[in-house]
Structure 1
Amino acid sequence: MLELNDIEAAAQRIAGQVLDTPCVESRTLSQLLGCQVFLKFENLQYTASFKERGACNKLSQLSADERARGVVAMSAGNHAQGVAYHAQRLGIRAVIVMPRFTPGVKVERTRGFGAEVVLHGDTLDEARTHARELSARDGLVFVHPYDDEAIVAGQGTVALEMLRVQPDLDTLVIAIGGGGLIGGMATAARAIKPGIEIVGVQTERFPAMYNAIKGTHLPQGNSTIAEGIAVGTPGAVTEAIIRDKVDDIVLVDEGDIEQAIVMLLEIEKTLVEGAGAAGLAALIKHPQRFAGKKVGLVLCGGNIDPLLLASIIERGMVRAGRLARIQVNARDVPGNLARITAIVADAGANVDEVHHQRAFTLLAAQNVAIELVLQTRGREHLAQVIEHLQAAGFEATVI
């Protein structure tokens, strides 16, 4: 099994080729969540993900013959970019097989690093099978995203850096896809600080490692906003490490991850993808589990589709009551809409959208249901807007 000296050797190989990213406390998140929260900003890597650590370590150890033949990898994006970037840097041909659902931003960035991108299959497993076929056919070296000790050792360097800067951390909360990151980090952390608690995080829609470790049979979904950890088959190398060194695995849902993305954007002014927000999502969903602890989180990736991000931000505003849809019933006479919008403005809210509903309503024919989408300061402010409208004689409710 992987040992600390393997990870320390990996750290020497990748030194100067990947960033030693900041690991600092978020005082605001600490106050909100009831524990000390330390963030490791792996989204600041050149490819915006920790994945290039493992890729750099693996490719640096290839023989001259293997480098001449080239490499092939399968990935939903971040491993692809890590392999492509370091292959380009080392002058190695790289072929990347990506599932068809992979966000366009990841596909284009991978191509931008000089890799040959092949879109194949609807799942990571289908992409993996095709990559294996290309490896056998063309003699390419297969670079697995997580089930490879050289990859796992590279990812483990994250823990070396975190515990060097914050040696008093007592808990690490780490996202799990195939298990490469948590496998490497758990190996390093256990050796450096045997009493540290290590908790893995998976999404409720992709609980493969959770099922494997806990013996459960939770169903697997079809999609998640955390596509970076949407792995259907756990790694054999990583599963063995997790069984031996990880204390627990918790599950989070899509809403938790969305909330975590928005919180990091608003509070820390940092952009993460769904997988990168999984650790914070676990703290949001299970606050008592981590109360009073010094918790290290890895913001493991920042590659998110802009349209998905826009949707998440808007849904987050709705969840917080800062974007709300209300219905105001009124007489369908000139001037009433002006009165309603004036009341909303006087209450300090902003009108985003207006829609009149005349046909699809049970109101009397001379009345109209006016739907307004409002920008407010939150739920309390929204309640004040409703009170102002009702005080003026209008029937107003939140939809």
Structure 2
Amino acid sequence: MESYLGIVVIVVVVALLAAGGLFLLFRPGGRAAPPMEPPKAPPLPEEEREAPSGSTAVGEEATTTVPPPTVPVQAPPVVVPEIEIPPPSAGRMVRLRARLARSQNALGRGLLDLLSRDRLDDDVWDEIEEVLITADVGVSPTRSMVEDLRTQVKVLGSRTPEEVRALLRKELLTQINPDMDRTLHTTPHGERPAVVLVVGVNGTGKTTTTGKLARALIGDGKKVVLGAADTFRAAAADQLQTWGERVGADVVRGPEGGDPASVAFDATARGIEEKADVVIVDTAGRLHTKTGLMDELGKVKRVIEKKATVDEVLLVLDATTGQNGMRQAQVFAEVVDVTGIALTKLDGTAKGGIVISVQRELGVPVKLVGLGEGPDDLAPFDPEVFVDALLGE
């Protein structure tokens, strides 16, 4: 009996202890027992250990792994402008005649209307004189023309429109002088290229005319080298570089503000080296003082002549400046031996009479005319085409 009671007591005690443990485990705020950690693996021997990331075990030493080379980012390819093939210069003025006729209509039609009147009294002749002067023919050439026309009208007596037109055409041609040599001298001398020096005030279209002339000569089958000797205007060299790239002409340039004569010399040397037909040198167009201009242009010409002959000195004039352009022309004519005139923007003015006045004042022929902003709008001057455009059909 006593043994039975002892067993019961032990069971009760165990039950109470179990209940107390469960109460402590699940009471509010109670904490679960931490999970048991898995047993740690024994450390590997030194020689079997893994090298850390980014390293490679070599023998007993670890070396840093060289990362794979990055693929370089390729720059976009340089776009080389396609070289253009310009049309030949022959016949350009005929093709551009319509533009000239539109701009000069007031001059031609005005003179024809006045000369066609039944009665030509002093007032009409004064009007004719005014039309000519307004068109920048110049005072002296105008008086000469009016005197010649009055004499011929008296001889003719009655006049038909055809006779008036023929009369005026003849007089205008006489004043323009079709017998002047308008040949552009661009024929090389043996192994030495012809050299064309382009001069004129900035703003007249000098650099553009240089580029257009190179384009026209290349269209005629000549090899051309350009010299950017206007070193005082950075845009001039860049502009000439663009013209050269378009037609495949080499451009020689120097540092901004550098010696223009040095650039001219290098361009001439390049022309000889490359067996070019023509070297065209664009010069600075500053007009600070006549002495400074004379010294600069004189030096450029002398330096060129150590290598080759200067065959042409082209003076670029803006036709829209009228008599102001004439004064500039006279300064340059006193400084260098101008051999020809390139008259730009002739399609943009009704003052085509400047062709007559500039030739009369300088005794130098107009050889080239600019009749638009297009790359092929520079044409050899043709007196007959010009006069016919003035008078219309």
Q: TM-score range by the shorter chain?
A: under 0.3
Which one has a bigger Cα radius of gyration? Answer: 2
Q: Which has the higher strand share?
A: 1
Q: Could you state the TM-score of these two structures normalised by the residue count of structure 2?
A: 0.27
